[in-house]
Homo-oligomer: A and B are copies of this chain.
Amino acid sequence: MSQINISVDCVLFGYDSDLDLKVLLIQRKYDPNTAAYKDHNSLPGDLIKYDEELSPAASRILESLTGISDIYLKQFSIFSDPNRVKHPKDQKWLRKFRAAPEERVITVGYMALVNIEDFNSDATYFNDEIIGDLTREGYFEKIWAKVNDIPELAFDHNNIVEEALKYLKKELNHELSSILLPKNFTLPQLQKLYEDITGKKIDKRNFRKQILKEGSIVKTNHTNNTGKKGKPATFYQFYDDKNKTIK
């Protein structure tokens, strides 16, 4: 008898200060035996286990990819179209490693945020046992794609990314930015992050006034002597109001 399956898919955002907002994708490499996976890209995700809660499932998937165990996670939507896995190209792929590839899958979308520098330090981490779907399939790579330049993805994953981005825009605040930025950051970096995500230019005096008034960030004694032209910017750190500690 046919059953409905549940999965989670994670849209992991990373922000590269001098560049762009990016999303982590799983890219299947060309396989000479089947030629089927070439250029097959998707979001990290997996079916949930019978007794598994949704958020822990998302954590499990992300930890296995990044080695980071406490990634910021937020459920943002459900994708429940009965035909969302029925496209022939997706079916061809599913048949390779799912017991019942034609069965309906409802997926829960999670938005996740990570400091891309933390990620890089663990870039090679990978735990074979954790991600069923990925390891069953074998050979793949992680790539950071610019949000404005995302390739064609499997299933409805392009749509899921769009929805995650909408959600991030709507929810953006100082707590979230503090996750995307390294511990030490400059105000021009923070401002650029806001401008990149919301797509709006901000007046720098007003931006500083606002954010400093809130008291959520503190000045350090250091500046970024990057060897570039221009006055060096001073580093700030986020201050966690609840725990009275610097993040």
Name A's B-contacting residues (CB within 8 A). Answer: 2-6, 48, 50-54, 75, 78, 80-82, 104, 106, 108
A53 cross-chain contacts in B, Cβ below 8 A: 80-82
- When chains A and B are docked, how far (Å) is the Cα of A70 from the Cα of B160? 27
CB nearest neighbor in B for A3: B3
B2 near A4: Cβ-Cβ < 8 Å: no
B6 near A50: Cβ-Cβ < 8 Å: no
A48 cross-chain contacts in B, Cβ below 8 A: 4
A2 cross-chain contacts in B, Cβ below 8 A: 50
A50 near B80: Cβ-Cβ < 8 Å: no
Q: How far is the CB of A9 from chain B (nearest CB, A)?
A: 14
With contacts A75-B78, A78-B75 taken as known, whether A4 is within 8 angstroms of B108 at the C-beta atoms is: no
- When chains A and B are docked, how far (Å) is the Cα of A106 from the Cα of B82? 16
Q: How far is the CB of A148 from chain B (nearest CB, A)?
A: 28
Copy count, this protein chain: 2
| Partner pick for A82 among B4, B51, B78, B82, CB 8 A cutoff | B51
Q: How far is the CB of A49 from chain B (nearest CB, A)?
A: 9
Q: Is the interface of A mostly helix, strand, loop or mixed?
A: loop
- When chains A and B are docked, how far (Å) is the Cα of A173 from the Cα of B111? 27
| Pairs across A and B, CB under 8 Å, 24 listed | A2-B50, A3-B3, A3-B4, A3-B50, A4-B4, A4-B5, A4-B6, A4-B50, A6-B6, A6-B106, A50-B82, A50-B104, A51-B82, A52-B82, A53-B80, A53-B81, A53-B82, A54-B78, A54-B80, A54-B106, A75-B78, A78-B78, A78-B108, A80-B108
- When chains A and B are docked, how far (Å) is the Cα of A54 from the Cα of B51? 22
A108 cross-chain contacts in B, Cβ below 8 A: 78, 80
Q: How far is the CB of A136 from chain B (nearest CB, A)?
A: 18
A81 cross-chain contacts in B, Cβ below 8 A: 53
Q: How far is the CB of A58 from chain B (nearest CB, A)?
A: 11
- When chains A and B are docked, how far (Å) is the Cα of A51 from the Cα of B85? 13
- When chains A and B are docked, how far (Å) is the Cα of A10 from the Cα of B86? 29
Q: How far is the CB of A14 from chain B (nearest CB, A)?
A: 26
- When chains A and B are docked, how far (Å) is the Cα of A221 from the Cα of B108? 50
A50 cross-chain contacts in B, Cβ below 8 A: 2-4, 82, 104
Most B CB contacts (10 A, CB to CB) among A4, A5, A54, A106 go to A4
